[in-house]
Chain A
Amino acid sequence: MSFYEEAKRRTVLVAGQVVPDAARCVQCGICSFNCPMGIDVRAHAWRGEPVVNSRCLTCGECVARCPRGVLRFERLSIFKEK
């Protein structure tokens, strides 16, 4: 499975959020440019913080477009850890 398909496949995850790996990000801005909701994904990637934004559709566009594999979906754990 290619990275792109992997990203698409993950779009079915409902309770997910976009998580960046700051060390890989080169701040090119492709993610923010392609986000249909105008979320500045790049700013999250700079700080290494997940995209916690109620407007995020988890559409996977930013994950799929990032040329550096910075972004991935992580499932939000439904059960609280003890």
Chain B
Amino acid sequence: MRYVIVGSGVAGIAAIEAIRSLDDQGEIWLIHEDPHGFYSRPGLAYYLTDEIPEEQLFPASIDWKQYRVQRLWGRVTRLYPEQSAIEGVHFRLARSIFGSKKVQEEAFRLSYDRLLLAVGSQAIPLNIPGTESQGVVKIDHLDDARRIRLLARRSRKAVVVGGGITSLELVEGLRAQGVEVHYLMRGERYWSNVLDETESRIVEHRLEEEGVILHHFTEVSEILAQKGRVVGVRLKDGQVLRCDMVAYAIGVRPRLELARQASLQTDRGILVNEYLQTSVPDIFAAGDVAQVYDPRSGKAMLDSLWGPAREQGYYAGLNMAGLKRPYLRGVPFNVTRLAGITTTLIGRIGEGRDEDTLGIVRGDSETWRDLPDALMAQSGFDVNRIRLIIGERTLLGAVVMGDQTLSFPLQRMIAEEVDIRPIRDRLLSANEKPAEVLAEYWSKLTTSTAPSLGRPVFKFSRA
């Protein structure tokens, strides 16, 4: 049996772990375009803020020898589903006679019994003149992060456009490198389709405290350059803002080229069934590139989240190795820092469109914008804040900012669909503090003898 995995992100790695837990004979190939292989993509944000050195991005615990994986640095360029084969180019670093390094390309062809497409997603490019100038950056890969750090060293002023978590990671990363940052938003507030007004204001206030200059209702129409280098941006209203760098994070798009060209079924992502199989049964897809059926909403959804990418990769691997195990999409959540404030986002919390982003952004889930008609309870002001989306029987979503004491209980209560009817009225009452009501209820639930609260949640088990 030959397994071929395309993509060395967390979905690809998790698939390898799963395959090896069931099959220690089969041959595993990993084709990766990123020269650095597997590393923490979310960790890139902390590399930009100098919280970790570059080496720290690479987990030491992945034992390639134990997994016996044939790694090939290269790009897959074409799939041949009828022949169960792929084609691509193999990259090799070669030294020229003058001692400089050069990447050599060599074509390859490989057949497979099972193929996994774990090719991830990619930043959507800015669609304005001037984006090819030096000083225009985005953050997809380690090489992007390196470039940002290098450019920041000789830059004084940067403009950041976009939304979601990644735009703030760019803002904070550039601030940490000592650059004056202007954050441009098209609309009237930050991440308006996931956060509510108060949450957006809390984040914006914090950014201002950190010295970030915010511009609302502002849009870039052109990047200005001299001798190929960024010198400023022209805004829609005609004004010019001088800067040496432009960083953007307007959203990501699954990398669908291979799947489309091979006529696999795609929508916004590659469509897969509960076994992570594409429309061609021996080709699987997992991670950011996969659009997965969500039993709660009845729709197929995209996520750009590390946790689900790992789960999907793991399930894809189990199924590729012959164990029929359906994957149930869980409730997406993310714990992240927004302008330094730890924030947990769980379930269905927002709706509509955000003017600063197109589709999905990194660390994002489409579910977060799938807000049903439900009631809301809020607790706390200033930096510590909890927002709950309350359904008839269960909690549907929550945003926890600042104090994270309730982050873990809420994650479980939402994922396991815990019955909240005993406290529902109190949660909605103006005289009660939802945080206190919840904490009390949680401690009751967990000290009771019931072994499980409700719906079981996904756990990684080592086979």
Q: Is the CB of A29 within 8 A of B342?
A: no
State the interface size on chain B (CB cutoff 8 A). Answer: 36
Q: Is the CB of A48 within 8 A of B459?
A: yes
Interface: B52 (CB within 8 A): yes
Chain B residues with Cβ below 8 Å from A42 are 59, 61
Interface: B100 (CB within 8 A): no
Query: Chain A, interface size: which category?
Result: 20 to 34
Give the complex CA separation of A69 and B409 in angstroms. Answer: 12
- Using an 8 Å CB-CB cutoff, how does the interface string of A10-39 with B read, 1 for contact, 0 for none? 000000000001111011111011000000
Interface: B446 (CB within 8 A): no
Give the complex CA separation of A23 and B332 in angstroms. Answer: 10
Q: Which of B10, B405, B407 contacts A27 (CB 8 A)?
A: B10
Chain B residues with Cβ below 8 Å from A43 are 59-61
Q: Is the CB of A46 within 8 A of B59?
A: yes
Smallest beta-carbon distance A40→chain B, Å: 6
Interface: A54 (CB within 8 A): no
Q: Is the CB of B42 within 8 A of A26?
A: yes
Smallest beta-carbon distance B39→chain A, Å: 8
Q: Is the CB of A3 within 8 A of B459?
A: no
Smallest beta-carbon distance B38→chain A, Å: 9
Q: Is the CB of B403 within 8 A of A3?
A: yes
Chain A residues with Cβ below 8 Å from B333 are 24
Q: Is the CB of A69 within 8 A of B404?
A: yes
Q: Is the CB of B46 within 8 A of A67?
A: yes
Q: Is the CB of B460 within 8 A of A67?
A: no
- When C-beta atoms are compared, the residue in chain B nearest to A44 turns out to be B61
Smallest beta-carbon distance A73→chain B, Å: 12
What's the dominant secondary structure at chain B's contact region? loop
Chain B residues with Cβ below 8 Å from A30 are 43, 46, 51-52, 56
Q: Is the CB of A46 within 8 A of B61?
A: yes
Q: Is the CB of B307 within 8 A of A24?
A: yes
* Interface hits, B297-333 → A, CB 8 Å: 306-307, 311, 333
- When C-beta atoms are compared, the residue in chain B nearest to A3 turns out to be B404
Chain A residues with Cβ below 8 Å from B457 are 23
Q: Which of A1, A46, A69 contacts B407 (CB 8 A)?
A: A69
- Using an 8 Å CB-CB cutoff, how does the interface string of B18-36 with A read, 1 for contact, 0 for none? 0000000000000000000
Inter-chain contact total with CB atoms closer than 8 Å:
87
Q: Is the CB of B43 within 8 A of A2?
A: no
Q: Is the CB of A26 within 8 A of B402?
A: no
Smallest beta-carbon distance A33→chain B, Å: 5
Interface: B371 (CB within 8 A): no
Once A69-B335, A69-B342 are accepted as A-B contacts, the answer to whether A23 and B402 lie under 8 Å apart by CB is no
Q: Is the CB of A33 within 8 A of B307?
A: no
Interface: B108 (CB within 8 A): no
Interface: A75 (CB within 8 A): no
Q: Is the CB of A24 within 8 A of B60?
A: no
Smallest beta-carbon distance A14→chain B, Å: 22
Interface: B277 (CB within 8 A): no
Give the complex CA separation of A43 and B60 in angstroms. Answer: 8
Give the complex CA separation of A61 and B378 in angstroms. Answer: 31
Give the complex CA separation of A27 and B307 in angstroms. Answer: 10
Once A28-B46, A72-B408 are accepted as A-B contacts, the answer to whether A33 and B335 lie under 8 Å apart by CB is no
Q: Is the CB of B342 within 8 A of A3?
A: yes
Q: Which of B40, B61, B460 contacts A26 (CB 8 A)?
A: B40
Smallest beta-carbon distance A43→chain B, Å: 4
Smallest beta-carbon distance A28→chain B, Å: 3
Give the complex CA separation of A6 and B459 in angstroms. Answer: 26
Q: Which of A22, A28, A48 contacts B43 (CB 8 A)?
A: A28
Give the complex CA separation of A67 and B40 in angstroms. Answer: 14
Q: Is the CB of B42 within 8 A of A47?
A: no
Chain B residues with Cβ below 8 Å from A68 are 335-336
- When C-beta atoms are compared, the residue in chain A nearest to B38 turns out to be A27
Q: Is the CB of A29 within 8 A of B458?
A: no
Interface: B235 (CB within 8 A): no
- When C-beta atoms are compared, the residue in chain A nearest to B56 turns out to be A29
Interface: B65 (CB within 8 A): no
* Other A-B pairs, 7, CB within 8 Å; known A43-B61, A67-B335: A2-B403, A21-B408, A28-B43, A47-B462, A67-B336, A69-B344, A72-B408
List 16 contacting pairs A-B, 8 Å CB cutoff, sorted by A: A3-B405, A6-B405, A23-B460, A24-B335, A26-B43, A26-B307, A27-B10, A27-B59, A28-B57, A29-B43, A29-B52, A29-B58, A30-B52, A33-B53, A48-B459, A67-B342
Q: A-side interface residues toward B, CB under 8 Å?
A: 1-3, 6, 21-24, 26-30, 32-33, 40, 42-43, 46-48, 67-70, 72
